[in-house]
């Protein structure tokens, strides 16, 4: 099943923020603890709860139409919140994103993995789960060969030492000057 949502996403105006107490909510340790931060954080949590409800409705539909036991469900998010030290940064909270998968009979409930997964892994996973063969391996091999052919045509030997790379760049600059 593939269902999309942009939650949680600023301006964090969905969900019921009153379900969270801004005075007692536990902030991540790298947050600056201010009234504004706490207020924004409870709005963010409310939107996560709203998103959780969307996922719940999808699961209800799978159950209603008797598809739940034979459906791979993946729930993921983007690269962190837009709080400081998160989204758009190279800090852990900006590089990590949540991913939960459910596939009865294939994925053990409660199992955890530390595998690194990116969005580019999702489509081949769904294709494979549906019994198809992801073509990305063949495409990847073809692109690798085309790149190697192009590099060879340019006089590139592949892996080079730094002095070899400088020499190669110099040759290419000379070729460009001659052709101009």
Query: Would 91 be classed as within a structural domain?
Result: yes
Is 98 buried (19+), middle (13-18) or exposed (0-12) by CB count in 10 A?
exposed
- Report residue 165's pLDDT band, with 50, 70 and 90 as the boundaries: low
Range name among 49-58, 85-94, 106-115 with the lowest pLDDT average: 85-94
- Which one-letter DSSP state was computed for residue 159? S
Is 121 buried (19+), middle (13-18) or exposed (0-12) by CB count in 10 A?
middle
- Residue 64 in contact with residue 129, Cβ under 8 Å? no
Across the chain, what does the average pLDDT equal? 82
Query: Would 10 be classed as within a structural domain?
Result: no
What's the domain range around 162?
Answer: 138-179
Is the model's pLDDT at 158 over the cut of 60? no
pLDDT tens sequence across 112-148: 887 877 777 888 888 888 888 766 666 666 766 776 7
- Residue 63 in contact with residue 1, Cβ under 8 Å? no
Query: Would 122 be classed as within a structural domain?
Result: yes
Query: Would 11 be classed as within a structural domain?
Result: no
């Amino acid at each position: 099943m593939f269902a999309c949502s942009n939650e949680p996403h600023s301006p964090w105006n969905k969900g019921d923020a009153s379900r969270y107490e801004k005075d007692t909510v536990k902030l991540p340790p790298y947050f600056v603890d201010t009234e504004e931060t706490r207020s924004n954080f409870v709005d963010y949590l409310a939107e996560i709860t709203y998103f959780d409800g969307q996922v719940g409705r999808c699961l209800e539909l799978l159950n209603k139409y008797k598809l739940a036991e034979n459906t791979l469900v993946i729930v993921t998010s983007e690269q962190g919140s837009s709080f400081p030290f998160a989204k758009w940064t190279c800090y852990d909270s900006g590089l990590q994103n949540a991913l939960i998968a459910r596939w009865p009979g294939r994925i053990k409930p409660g199992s955890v993995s530390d595998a690194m997964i990116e969005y580019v892994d999702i489509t081949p996973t769904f294709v494979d789960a549906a019994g198809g063969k992801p073509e990305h391996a063949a495409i990847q091999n073809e692109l690798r060969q085309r790149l190697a052919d192009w590099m060879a045509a340019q006089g590139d030997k592949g892996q080079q030492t730094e002095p070899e790379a400088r020499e190669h760049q110099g040759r290419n600059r000379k070729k460009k000057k001659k052709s101009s």
